[in-house]
Amino acid sequence: MSRQLTVSDILPTEDYVKVRLKKRTALLEQKKLRQLHVGPHVTLTFESWDSMWYQVQEMLAIEKGGAAQLADELAAYGPLVPNGDELVATLMIEIEDPDRRARILGTLGGIENTVSLAFAGHGIMAAPEQDVERTTAEGKTSAVHFLHFPFTTVEKAAFKQTGAQVILAVGHANYRHMTVLPEDVRQELCTDLD
């Protein structure tokens, strides 16, 4: 069910710290059903209202910017809450060694434009967030990308069919990998589609 993240949803920091551990534990459990590895270096985490609420609360608790900071955090993270007609994911390219990471990121420019979902004869290309350019003119990409997968009514119905096989793929010339969503992950993601 879609739900926007608003000022009224945010707890004062002194109240948030009282429930912080409980909320973090619950979110970690939810993430188990929302995180997929695609090949050796890419992880996609499908975001939810809960994950973005937690992100905003954490930023406010850590940076202590108060009301002045809240508007910026909602502007940054609010668009990453699925709107009922999409799935939203954070794509991370994870490579521990800094030299190797820099070398590989330098070959993956535009990777954010090659991510797709395929199921029941439908194909949905991810649309990257346009907040900032994450690939340089030299072809180096950022290690983090925010992606939207827009669905039509027909695609939502097909995705929600019990047992539908859904393939998540990265089709970059230098990184071609795919994975099948486990059924429990597909079911969890159905909750984002009204």
What would the pLDDT profile of 113-130 be if each residue is shown by its tens digit?
999 999 999 999 999 998
- Residue among 146, 134, 31, 167 at smallest CA distance from 87: 146
Yes or no: say if 73 and 60 are a contact pair by the CB < 8 Å rule.
yes
Quote the CA–CA distance of 127 and 146 in Å, as a whole number.
Answer: 9
Yes or no: say if 144 and 90 are a contact pair by the CB < 8 Å rule.
yes
Find the helix or strand (DSSP H, E) in which 178 lies. Answer: strand 175-180
Q: pTM (2 decimals)?
A: 0.91
- Please give the order of strands across the beta sheet that includes 35-38: 35-38, 42-46, 86-93, 144-150, 127-128
Residue 7 has pLDDT above 60, yes or no: yes
Residue 135 has pLDDT above 90, yes or no: no
Cα distances from 55 to residues 60, 80, 114, 151, 171, in angstroms, run 9, 11, 26, 25, 29
Beta bridge partners of 145: 91
Cα distances from 76 to residues 125, 138, 172, in angstroms, run 22, 26, 27
Residue 132 has pLDDT above 70, yes or no: no
Sorted by where each begins, the domain ranges of the chain are 7-190
Give the length of the chain: 194
What would the pLDDT profile of 140-173 be if each residue is shown by its tens digit?
999 999 999 999 999 999 999 999 999 999 999 9
